[in-house]
Amino acid sequence: MPESVPEGFKPFPIAAGFELRFGPLYIDPTGARPRLGLQVAEHHLNPLGILHGGVVMALADEVIAVTLLAHVEGRSFATISLNCDFLAAGKPGEWVEAAAEVVRLTQSLAFMRATVASDTRALATASGMWRLFERR
């Protein structure tokens, strides 16, 4: 576990796939909203040596999924749209975390919002829409 992981965060249980290469991710499930975090490592950087925008969007999408799971128990969902506004660059070695909230839930759609920030500044805001499905 990296030295700079804040208290309360623990390794995010990831089974396989993209998240294995994307991480390591950490979760703090306490409080009103779960938070996901990562320490910016070499594989998170773009050619300019700053946090890649795709990592920021993936972190936003992941924290939205974790948040949405708590609100649509027994249902599955898929991202329809994810819009991201980049506000500042993340730097190597920084701790970056994300939190999300439900804006609106209908029978078939979820409207969500997320923030991604470092210890010192907001890096991005994201919003989007998710299609809700009944699990089979």
* 40, 70, 99, 136 from 54: Cα distances, Å: 13, 25, 17, 31
pLDDT at 118 over 70: yes
Note the pLDDT tens digit of each residue in 53-103.
Answer: 999 999 999 999 999 988 998 899 999 999 999 999 999 999 999 999 999
Residues 6+ away with beta carbon under 8 Å from 33: 67, 99, 100, 101
Confidence of residue 5 (pLDDT cuts 50, 70, 90): confident
Q: For residues 132 and 136, give the distance between their C-alpha atoms in angstroms, rounded to a whole number.
A: 13
Report residue 3's pLDDT band, with 50, 70 and 90 as the boundaries.
low
Domains located in the chain, CATH noted: 10-134 (3.10.129.10)
**Which pair of structure tokens corresponds to residue 118?**
């470092």
- State the burial class of residue 49 (Cβ atoms within 10 Å of its Cβ: 0-12, 13-18, 19+): exposed
Q: What is the pLDDT of residues 10-65, one digit of tens each?
A: 998 876 688 777 888 999 988 788 999 999 999 999 999 999 999 999 999 999 99
Residue type, 96: V
Beta pairing, strands 26-28 & 10-11: antiparallel
Using DSSP's 3-state secondary structure scheme, residue 115 falls into: strand
